[in-house]
Chain A
């Protein structure tokens, strides 16, 4: 199994297009960092507009490396699933397209093993991509913008946490993001099983993610209780929950606290169920698949 995984990883990292994603992440992060470096004040003024009538604050302290990383991580919603799909959707369909899938099946490897290994390789790719993102978005932002207390602005509340209470939240958030992106990878892999060309599964996955994300973000009572809780895209943003803090009755932030950890746990579980469902379906379908290419 380990040897098989090594081969899959070799295949992924031998392809030049794998590195497009790393380049894209670097570009997204750099674009946001440059924009905030030169016009961060406008952004902070806009975000804090609900408070600026009542409070005075120092823009330069609010805009620090921790907040910049949080802003960048929001792109997880849109960009990173696309980058993950590029690789994961190519796992089976790409082999079918090149005609190597039939050859691969002549080896003494079960179809279940093959799908599981391909999924594991995709997860490793997700981990590396997010680690790369963490280095650029967190470490480089800290170098450029420095550190200070972190503020998180929600739709109806303002959360502030001390600088020494932030890094562990990022570790947890990136860990959670790995699971969220692995769900997208699992979906891509499932769709990849049905195609002989990677373009179809890539487009299909992206379309599904976009439509479900829009549904998740819409505030329509009809969907709020009936549809949204069951969409995996609603739970992909649960990494933000690590930055929602508890407070005392007097509004004082409780250091090291998470506002609703059980909710994050529930979201995590739902994503894991989705992963199992997608990967399980991929195994079943691949086992029944008549490989002709």
Chain B
């Protein structure tokens, strides 16, 4: 009995210190992200969903603190996946909204990362769990997984370049769940050209949106009207 108490007494501070580490790391990451009050980013958006054939779109992404994000395709039609708001890390790392848990380490590419699980304090939060893969050296989130109540799991992978100091990625790969797509044949009056269909029935599919940014305009102000349109 004495032995067990001793072990627990010895381990508890260690667990506490580790948790503190994680919170400290998150604080540093958040501080880096918060250097950006707003930005306008230009780039290309590639959509990869099994039942969709979509051209690459030239887009502009507008962001304003605390969590306002708008993706616009000025020349064509863009289909923006719902939940893409989590493309902004500010949402994932909303201050005081979560309890952080250390989930060990993992490798993303060649980089060693700390895995941090974020549990929302509010039971009614749409997000059930977020997992972040943080580069502790550069203080950058390289990957995040967000599980929601209604919309499945979103996954974000980020690759950084010249805007790494602002924690702004050059490339974001946003993965999400898609539902099966079907319209009644009596509505579409399709021409049956005999082309083999790619869509396997029944199973939920994963869709991907790849955003490649060419430039950012940071902290120069973004007009409110952009978000209302």
Chain A residues at the B interface, C-beta cutoff of 8 Å: 47, 50-51, 53-58, 61-62, 74, 77, 148-149, 151, 153-163, 217, 219, 228, 234, 237-241, 244-247, 250-253, 255, 259-260, 263-264, 267
- Contact between B53 and A56 (Cβ–Cβ < 8 Å)? no
Contact of B108 with A by CB under 8 A:
no
B54's partner among A56, A77, A160 (CB-CB below 8 A) is A160
Q: A54-B81, A151-B77 are in contact. Are A157 and B191 (CB under 8 A)?
A: no
- Contact between A62 and B50 (Cβ–Cβ < 8 Å)? no
- Contact between B189 and A74 (Cβ–Cβ < 8 Å)? yes
B82's partner among A56, A217, A253 (CB-CB below 8 A) is A56
Classify the interface of chain A: helix, strand, loop or mixed. mixed
The stretch among B98-106, B109-117, B133-141, B176-184 that forms the contact with chain A is B176-184
Residues of A within 8 A of B178 (CB): 54
Residues of B within 8 A of A244 (CB): 191, 193, 195
- Contact between B53 and A247 (Cβ–Cβ < 8 Å)? yes
B197 to chain A, nearest CB (A): 6
Residues of B within 8 A of A153 (CB): 183, 188
- Contact between B197 and A156 (Cβ–Cβ < 8 Å)? yes
- Contact between A162 and B76 (Cβ–Cβ < 8 Å)? yes
A156's partner among B47, B56, B194, B199 (CB-CB below 8 A) is B199
B210 to chain A, nearest CB (A): 8
A157's partner among B53, B82, B176, B192 (CB-CB below 8 A) is B53
- Contact between B193 and A253 (Cβ–Cβ < 8 Å)? no
Residues of A within 8 A of B179 (CB): 50, 53-54
A116 to chain B, nearest CB (A): 30
- Contact between A263 and B77 (Cβ–Cβ < 8 Å)? no
- Contact between B53 and A245 (Cβ–Cβ < 8 Å)? yes
- Contact between A55 and B81 (Cβ–Cβ < 8 Å)? yes
> In the complex, A291 Cα to B181 Cα: how many Å?
59
B182's partner among A156, A237, A259, A267 (CB-CB below 8 A) is A156
- Contact between A55 and B55 (Cβ–Cβ < 8 Å)? no
- Contact between B181 and A158 (Cβ–Cβ < 8 Å)? yes
B47 to chain A, nearest CB (A): 6
Q: Provide a sorted-by-A list of 7 A–B residue pairs whose CB atoms are within 8 angstroms.
A: A155-B182, A157-B199, A159-B53, A160-B77, A217-B186, A251-B49, A263-B193
- Contact between A56 and B79 (Cβ–Cβ < 8 Å)? yes
- Contact between B53 and A148 (Cβ–Cβ < 8 Å)? no
- Contact between A251 and B52 (Cβ–Cβ < 8 Å)? yes
Classify the interface of chain B: helix, strand, loop or mixed. loop
Contact of B159 with A by CB under 8 A:
no
Q: A154-B183, A155-B182, A160-B52 are in contact. Are A240 and B79 (CB under 8 A)?
A: no
- Contact between B192 and A234 (Cβ–Cβ < 8 Å)? yes
B107 to chain A, nearest CB (A): 26
> In the complex, A61 Cα to B47 Cα: how many Å?
18
Residues of A within 8 A of B82 (CB): 53-56
> In the complex, A157 Cα to B191 Cα: how many Å?
13
> In the complex, A149 Cα to B176 Cα: how many Å?
24
- Contact between B55 and A253 (Cβ–Cβ < 8 Å)? yes
A220 to chain B, nearest CB (A): 12
- Contact between A158 and B52 (Cβ–Cβ < 8 Å)? yes
Residues of A within 8 A of B183 (CB): 47, 50, 153-156
Q: A54-B176, A57-B80, A259-B193 are in contact. Are A157 and B51 (CB under 8 A)?
A: yes
Contact of B32 with A by CB under 8 A:
no
A263 to chain B, nearest CB (A): 4
Contact of B190 with A by CB under 8 A:
yes
- Contact between A51 and B189 (Cβ–Cβ < 8 Å)? no
B185's partner among A74, A148, A217, A264 (CB-CB below 8 A) is A217
Residues of A within 8 A of B195 (CB): 244, 259-260, 263
Contact of B171 with A by CB under 8 A:
no
Tell me the B161-209 residues at the A interface (CB within 8 Å): 176-179, 181-195, 197, 199, 207
B196 to chain A, nearest CB (A): 10
B225 to chain A, nearest CB (A): 16
Q: A62-B77, A237-B191, A244-B191 are in contact. Are A160 and B55 (CB under 8 A)?
A: yes
Tell me the B28-53 residues at the A interface (CB within 8 Å): 46-53
> In the complex, A260 Cα to B193 Cα: how many Å?
7
Residues of B within 8 A of A154 (CB): 183, 188, 190
Contact of B148 with A by CB under 8 A:
no
Q: A153-B188, A157-B199, A217-B186 are in contact. Are A51 and B181 (CB under 8 A)?
A: yes
B193's partner among A156, A160, A241, A250 (CB-CB below 8 A) is A241
A66 to chain B, nearest CB (A): 11
> In the complex, A53 Cα to B186 Cα: how many Å?
22
Residues of A within 8 A of B153 (CB): none
- Contact between A162 and B55 (Cβ–Cβ < 8 Å)? yes
- Contact between A240 and B53 (Cβ–Cβ < 8 Å)? no
